[in-house]
Structures are given as structure tokens and as C-alpha cells.
Amino acid sequence: MALIVDKHRPRSLDALTYHDELSERLRSLAQSGDFPHLLFYGPSGAGKKTRIVATLKELYGPGVEKIKIDARVFQTSSNRKLEFNIVASVYHLEITPSDVGNYDRVVIQDLLKEVAQTQQVDQQARQKFKVVVINEADHLTRDAQAALRRTMEKYSPNLRLILVGESTAGIIAPIRSRCLLVRVARPTIEEVKGVLGESCKKEGWGVQEGLLERVARESGRNLRKALLILEAVYAQNEKVTDNTPIPPPDWEGLIEQIAQEIMAEHTPARILQVRSKLYDLLTHCIPPTTILKTLTFKLMPLIDDALKPEVIKWSAFYEHRIKTGTKVIFHLEAFVAKFMRILEMYLMSMDM
Ligand SMILES: Nc1ncnc2c1ncn2[C@@H]1O[C@H](COP(=O)(O)OP(=O)(O)OP(=O)(O)O)[C@@H](O)[C@H]1O
């Protein structure tokens, strides 16, 4: 089942809501016959990606939406093999070079050269050039940026770049100056509410103004987050009203659950169960110190005041261990075990 963030994503410049002037500007660029390199920047969930795809569609037509994922292997100078995924239609490619960390230069250099040297496969293509979308461009290493700059100087006719990042700060001046800068600001609360309202109508959910207002604010004007929260509200409640509580973002919910489980039972078996959840959080890239702090925070209201200083002391202790050590999961688990022991001792002393 598709989520509404995907299902309701506008697929053309016409369908884009908010930042109308920007949509118009992108349209005239796409129709101008003189399409420049672009640098899209703005916060997460502001709608950069959506606008880029809509612009590509204006350039090439619906064929850009037929994408496949290409697994490629690149070779470093020390003969290391780099596996790398490319998302591509016949007209464009999308890459995230930061996936290969410090080897991003290899990908940039080899791939762009290859693209620049090949003609459009589709003889009927509306544009002679191919577009390469580069995600997280603001995280490219200096080496990769230098390679990118050389490519821009050398191969312009067959290649246009669309760089995407949160800000322009990490991008070297010679690249910035070769791009047209496109700022995609966060939508306003009203604009977020507008998008949420449209989604509600499409799903037949009815529009609860107060709820949409709260979701928009909770999301920090991140549209993706807002749509995910909205969908979670409807998934978790039979009947939704203006006062239905908004669920915490998933990972915090999971930590809340861990806190409850730790309180309910103090056994090695429980530590093991908790461990697998902690592991889950780590594999979802939640920073270990955030996990530890959030867990401590969630445990606080559940314990007696007398225990709090002790728990906080151990939390700080294991936070330090996490920062200096390697086996993160081990230290998180150790904190859980320590907490259980503190609690057990306390409960026993109460019984006496
Ligand atoms: N103009 C718009 N009108 C309605 N919905 C939109 C619009 N732009 C984006 N959205 C919705 O918001 C979601 C997030 O947008 P998008 O993925 O384009 O953000 P982004 O800025 O590229 O985020 P990130 O930098 O985190 O990848 C999309 O899935 C889409 O459903």
C-alpha cells in the first residue's frame, strides 16, 4: 500500500502547490532551450525533490517517470570495488555520491565522464543533454567537488547538473557560480495545512482544521513529516476528531516502549528483548547518545525521585563510554542492566 507522501506527490509543475513564482520560473527555464545547471537548496521536506522531478517532466515528458535502479561497480585506484546504486530513466540519472563516503570522487569522475560522452539513446528526445541529479551535494568531499568543477568546464553540451542540498555553504564557489541557485524555502503553516487538507479530501477523511493545524506545527513545516504524521493519526485511530492526539515520531515511540518494558520486568531475558529494539534504532541511524538521552528522559517520570540522581549519573557515565568506545550497543545494554539493578536494589530496600 502506497503512503500518501508518495501517492499524493504532485507530478508536474502545474500540480505543484505553493511557491507559485518558483514553479513558473522553472517552467520558463525548461522551455527556454537554454537550460542551465541548477543548485536546489533548502531544508528537508520543503519539496526540492518533487520540484526537480516536475521540472524534468517539463523537460522530457512522462518518460522521466519510468525509472529503474542500476547497481554499478566502480573501481578505486587501490583496486577496491565500490558498489553504487544509480536511479535512472532514459533521460536522466540520480546519484547520491555520499553513499560511498570518501570515494565520492571516483563516482563523480567516472560516471559523469561516461554520461557526457554518450548521446541520448532516444533519438526523439526533446533535449540533447542528459540531466544528472546529485543528491547531498553539500556533503561532497573537496576532491569530488574539484572533479565536478572540471566536468562542468569540460562537458557542458551533453550534460546538465542538478545539485541538491540543504544549504549552499558546503559547496565551493566555482561550482556555485556555474549554477543557477534555486532556493526552496519551507512552506508556511498555512501552506502545509493546505497540502494536508487536499490529502484528507483525496482519502475521504474529512477536514479537521484543528488537527491539521497541530500536525503542521508539530512537523516543523517539513511536508514529508507532516504527511507521515497525518497518515499515522488515521492509521491508529478509528475515529479522528480535532482533538485526537498526534503520535510521537516513530523512534521516540519505540524508546517509550523500551522504557515501559524495562520498568515492567528486570530479567536477563528482558535485557535481550530490549537489546534487539535498541539495535533496531541504531540501524535506523538514530545517534546512540540520542537514544541514551531519550531513554533516560522517558524513564524519569516512571521512577521515584530518590532514584533520579543515581540514574542520571549512570546515564552520563555510559554516554561518555559511548563517545569514547566502539561497541555502542554494548554500552547501551550496560546502561539498561545498570538501571534494572538500581531499581531492584531500591525495591528490595522498600520491602525491608
Ligand atoms: N508543492 C507541493 N505540493 C504538495 N505536496 C508537496 C509539494 N512538494 C512536496 N510535496 C510533498 O512533500 C513530500 C516531501 O517533498 P520532497 O521529497 O520533495 O522534499 P525534499 O525537500 O526533497 O526533502 P529531502 O531534502 O528531505 O529529500 C513529498 O513526498 C510530497 O508528497
Question: Which grid coordinates belong to 81?
Answer: 570495488
Longest CA–CA separation in the chain, Å: 86
**How many angstroms is it from 233 CA to the middle of ligand 1?**
20
Model pLDDT for residues 56-99, shown as the tens digit of each residue: 999 999 999 998 888 888 888 888 888 888 889 999 999 989 87
230, 215 Cβ separation under 8 angstroms: yes
Establish if 346 belongs to a structural domain: yes
The CATH number of whichever domain residue 323 belongs to comes to 1.20.272.10
Q: Which residue's CA is the closest to the ligand 1 atom numbered 8?
A: 47
Mutate to test the pocket of ligand 1, among 19, 21, 49 (most ligand atoms within 8 A of CB): 49
Which numbered atom of ligand 1 lies nearest the CA of 19?
Answer: 1
ipTM of the complex: 0.98
**Is residue 307 situated within a structural domain?**
yes
Measure 42 CA to ligand 1 centroid, in angstroms.
11
Residues of the chain with pLDDT under 70: 1-2, 248-249, 284-285, 352
Same-domain check for residues 207 and 302:
no
pTM, two decimal places: 0.74
Q: Indicate left, alpha or beta for 220 from its phi (over 0: left) and psi (-120 to 50: alpha).
A: left
CA–centroid distance, 45 to ligand 1, in Å, is 5
Q: State the Cα–Cα distance between residues 337 and 31, nearest whole angstrom.
A: 63
From 136, 224, 225, the mutation candidate for ligand 1 (largest count of ligand atoms within 8 A of CB) is 224
* Domain match, 153 and 296 both: no
85 and 221 fall within a common domain: no
CA angle 62, 65, 69 (to 5 degrees): 150
Residue 195 and residue 178 share a domain: no
In the chain, the number of structural domains is 3
Count the Cβ atoms, other than its own, within 10 Å of residue 64.
20
Pocket lining for ligand 1, CB < 6 angstroms? 5, 8-10, 16-18, 44-50, 195, 223-224, 227
- 150 with 286, same domain: the answer is no
CA 9 to ligand 1 center in whole angstroms? 7
Query: Amino acid letter at 57?
Result: K
Task: Based on the fold, state whether residues 116 and 196 are members of the same structural domain.
Answer: no
Q: How far is the CA of 227 from the centre of ligand 1 (A)?
A: 10
CA 78/CA 61 separation, integer angstroms: 42
Q: Are 70 and 154 members of one domain?
A: yes
Q: Are 231 and 196 in contact (CB under 8 A)?
A: no
* Range of the structural domain that residue 202 is part of: 189-236
Distance (angstroms) between ligand 1 centre and the Cα of 99 equals 21
**Distance from the CA of 46 to the center of ligand 1, in angstroms?**
6
User: Looking at ligand 1, which atom is closest to the CA of residue 223?
Assistant: 12
> Which numbered atom of ligand 1 lies nearest the CA of 50?
18
Contact 41, 166 (CB under 8 A): yes
Q: What's the CATH number where 23 sits?
A: 3.40.50.300
Ligand 1 pocket mutation, candidates 4, 8, 9, criterion most atoms within 8 A of CB: 9
Within this chain, do residues 165 and 210 fall inside the same structural domain, yes or no?
no
Residues in the chain: 352
* Domain assignment present for 241: no
d(Cα 166, Cα 44) in Å, to the nearest integer? Answer: 7
Concatenated DSSP letters of 17-64: -S-HHHHHHHHHHHHSS-PPEEEEE--TTSSHHHHHHHHHHHHH-GGG
Give the pLDDT score at 1: 53
| Same domain assignment for residues 95 and 59 | yes
Q: Which ligand 1 atom is at minimum distance from the Cα of 23?
A: 1
* Euclidean distance between CA atoms 272 and 282, whole angstroms: 15
CB 106 within 8 A of CB 120: no
Q: How many CB atoms lie within 10 A of CB 45?
A: 21
Same domain, 202 and 273: no
Give the residue from 39, 276, 310 showing the smallest Cα distance to 148.
39
Give the tens place of pLDDT for each residue, 325-342: 778 888 999 999 999 999
341: alpha, beta or left? (left if phi > 0; alpha if psi -120 to 50): alpha
Let me know whether 200 and 149 are in one domain: no
Query: Helix, strand, coil % (nearest 5) of the chain?
Result: 60, 10, 30
Q: Residue of the nearest CA to atom 25 in ligand 1?
A: 44
- Strand bridging mode 92-95 / 130-134: parallel
146 and 163 in a common domain: yes
